[in-house]
């Protein structure tokens, strides 16, 4: 982002604003190519405005100066017309591929409709300042002669550049202010263009900028005349229901949309990643271990399943494993020991009963004789 200071904000026609900016001291230069545009924003009533894109009018050969032109038909542009010298303007960019390629073009045709002349002003100024040998023919369509915002500048450039020719196409009204210039009344048509070049439209590059209907009409007419699609370069200047034509399109809007979509997707990815990190390890199940019927997969259940699955089937004919054999032998030995102990106990009881039965009976003690004297003493013998 670059910061510029407003030098002036002048209404060059009743509806056209020319915004002159100068670079703040010590700031980096805003580099651009002739024909590109940039997004500008500023403060209105103490609040920042949204950024809007406008074509650059000035030439990159004039460092430190930056000019934009716009129709004052909306809230943003009317606010821009109220800017005062010294106000801050933020500039982002540059954008666009609608650029004059002097090295690859010997003969170019500019077709401007209304305020669509702004990128061409940068191109004409640049070509004039570097004394380019490229032949430039401009058809500039305006509703009336009062709608021409850069009449004096175009007159000046024609005087300075012998390779530049401007043909003004005025829709209605007088043309007395255009005395000494090439003027055609009516609407621009393909026949008008064809006649200007003696019906030889090949080997020329056609740059078109204006409203979408204007660009569509001219571009389609040129293609019907056999002009290659690669030699028709357009710049979308206004929003509308008509699609843009040509190989070069205005792309910042698409970039903004893609950037917003990427930001949303990136935020979702980061959020999901953070949620996964917050989950306990037990919650991260391996899908390969999930049964088709989505049965319980906790660790205790898996242990029980493993224990049950390790038991041999009841009707299995397979030989028992060593562990099973050892278990069975231990159980057998315990049973034999218990039976032996029971038998021994029974035998001992039987022997004791027999011995008791064969012994002689024990004689009962003889009864005692007791006498009592008169004094009450009892004696037993």
Domain ranges of the chain: 2-95, 102-250
Location of structure tokens 């231990």: 330
Report residue 315: phi and psi, to 5°: -100, 20
Q: Is 163 in contact with 187 (CB distance < 8 Å)?
A: no
Residue pLDDT, tens place only, 145-169: 999 999 999 999 999 999 999 999 9
202 or 16, greater pLDDT:
16
pLDDT at 374 over 60: no
> Is the CATH number of domain 102-250 3.20.20.10?
no
pLDDT at 263 over 60: yes
Asked which of 29-43, 270-284, 364-378 is least confident by mean pLDDT, the reply is 364-378
Q: Which of 186, 185, 244 is nearest to 214 (CA)?
A: 244
CA distance 54 to 282: 57
Specify the pLDDT at position 328.
55
Q: What is the mean pLDDT of residues 99-128?
A: 92
47 or 336: which leads in pLDDT: 47
pLDDT at 308: 54
User: Would you say residue 53 has pLDDT above 80?
Assistant: yes
Q: What was the pLDDT predicted at 240?
A: 37
Q: Quick one: tokens of 42? A: 């500023």
Average pLDDT taken over every residue of the chain: 77
Cis check: omega of the bond before 94, within 30 degrees of 0: yes
Strand pairing class (205-210; 182-185): unpaired
| Listed range (71-75, 202-206, 294-298) with the worst mean pLDDT | 294-298
* pLDDT of 171 higher than 90: yes
pLDDT of residue 249: 38
Tokens 């009743």 -> residue:
14
pLDDT at 297 over 60: no
Q: How far apart are CA 301 and CA 295, in angstroms?
A: 10
Residue 290 pLDDT level (bands cut at 50, 70, 90): very low
**Cα 186 to Cα 199: distance, rounded to the nearest angstrom:** 20
Structure tokens at 108: 């170019």
Q: Within 10 A of 213 (CB to CB), how many other CB atoms are there? A: 13
Q: What is the pLDDT of residue 316?
A: 46
Mean pLDDT of the 161-186 span: 93
Mean pLDDT for the stretch of residues 242-266: 50
For helices 151-160 and 118-129, what crossing angle results, to 10°?
A: 30
Give the rounded percent of residues in the chain with a pLDDT score beyond 70.
65
Q: Is the pLDDT of residue 343 over 70?
A: no
Cβ neighbours, 10 Å, residue 359: 8
CA–CA separation, 319 and 329 (whole Å): 15
Does the model's pTM come out above 0.75?
A: no
Mean pLDDT computed over 267-293? 60
Q: How is domain 2-95 classified at the CATH fold level?
A: Elongation Factor Tu (Ef-tu); domain 3 (2.40.30)
The pLDDT of residue 143 is above 90: yes
Average pLDDT for 95-103: 87
Query: Which structure tokens are listed for 312?
Result: 């041999």
Structure tokens at 324: 């099973």
* pLDDT confidence of residue 260: 61
What pLDDT is recorded for position 64?
A: 78
Q: Which residue has the higher pLDDT, 351 or 120?
A: 120
Distance of alpha carbon 159 from alpha carbon 152, whole angstroms: 11
pLDDT band at 295 (very low <50, low <70, confident <90, very high): very low
């Amino acid at each position: 982002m670059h910061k510029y200071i407003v030098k002036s904000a002048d209404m060059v026609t009743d509806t056209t604003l020319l915004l002159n900016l100068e670079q703040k001291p010590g700031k980096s230069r805003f580099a651009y190519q002739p024909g590109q545009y940039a997004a500008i924003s500023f403060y209105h009533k103490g609040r920042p405005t949204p950024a809007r894109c406008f074509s650059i009018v000035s030439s990159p050969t004039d460092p430190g100066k930056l000019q934009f032109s716009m129709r004052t038909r909306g809230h943003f542009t009317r606010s821009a017309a109220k800017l005062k010298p010294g106000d801050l303007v933020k500039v982002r960019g540059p954008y666009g591929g609608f650029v004059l390629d002097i090295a690859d073009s010997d003969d170019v045709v500019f077709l401007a409709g209304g305020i669509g002349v702004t990128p061409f002003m940068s191109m004409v100024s640049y070509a004039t300042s570097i004394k380019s040998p490229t032949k430039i023919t401009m058809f500039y369509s305006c509703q009336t002669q009062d709608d021409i915002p850069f009449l004096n500048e175009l007159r000046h450039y024609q005087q300075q550049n012998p390779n530049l020719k401007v043909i003004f196409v005025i829709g209605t009204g007088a043309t007395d202010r255009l005395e000494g210039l090439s003027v055609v009344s009516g609407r621009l048509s393909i026949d008008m263009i064809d006649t200007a070049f003696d019906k030889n439209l090949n080997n020329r590059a056609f740059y078109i900028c204006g409203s979408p209907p204007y660009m569509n009409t001219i571009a389609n007419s040129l293609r019907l005349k056999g002009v290659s699609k690669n030699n028709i370069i357009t710049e979308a200047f206004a929003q509308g229901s008509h699609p843009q034509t040509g190989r070069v399109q205005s792309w910042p809007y698409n970039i903004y949309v893609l950037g917003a979509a990427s930001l949303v997707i990136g935020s979702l990815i980061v959020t999901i990643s953070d949620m996964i990190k917050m989950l306990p390890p037990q919650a991260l199940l391996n899908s390969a271990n999930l049964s088709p019927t989505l049965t319980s997969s906790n660790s205790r259940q898996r242990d029980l399943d493993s224990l049950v699955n390790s038991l041999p089937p009841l009707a299995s004919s397979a030989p028992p494993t060593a562990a099973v054999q050892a278990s069975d032998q231990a159980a057998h030995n315990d049973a034999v020991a218990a039976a032996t102990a029971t038998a021994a106990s029974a035998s001992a009881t039987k022997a004791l009963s027999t011995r008791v039965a064969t012994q002689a009976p024990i004689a009962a003690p003889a009864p005692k004789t007791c006498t009592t004297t008169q004094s009450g003493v009892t004696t037993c013998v």
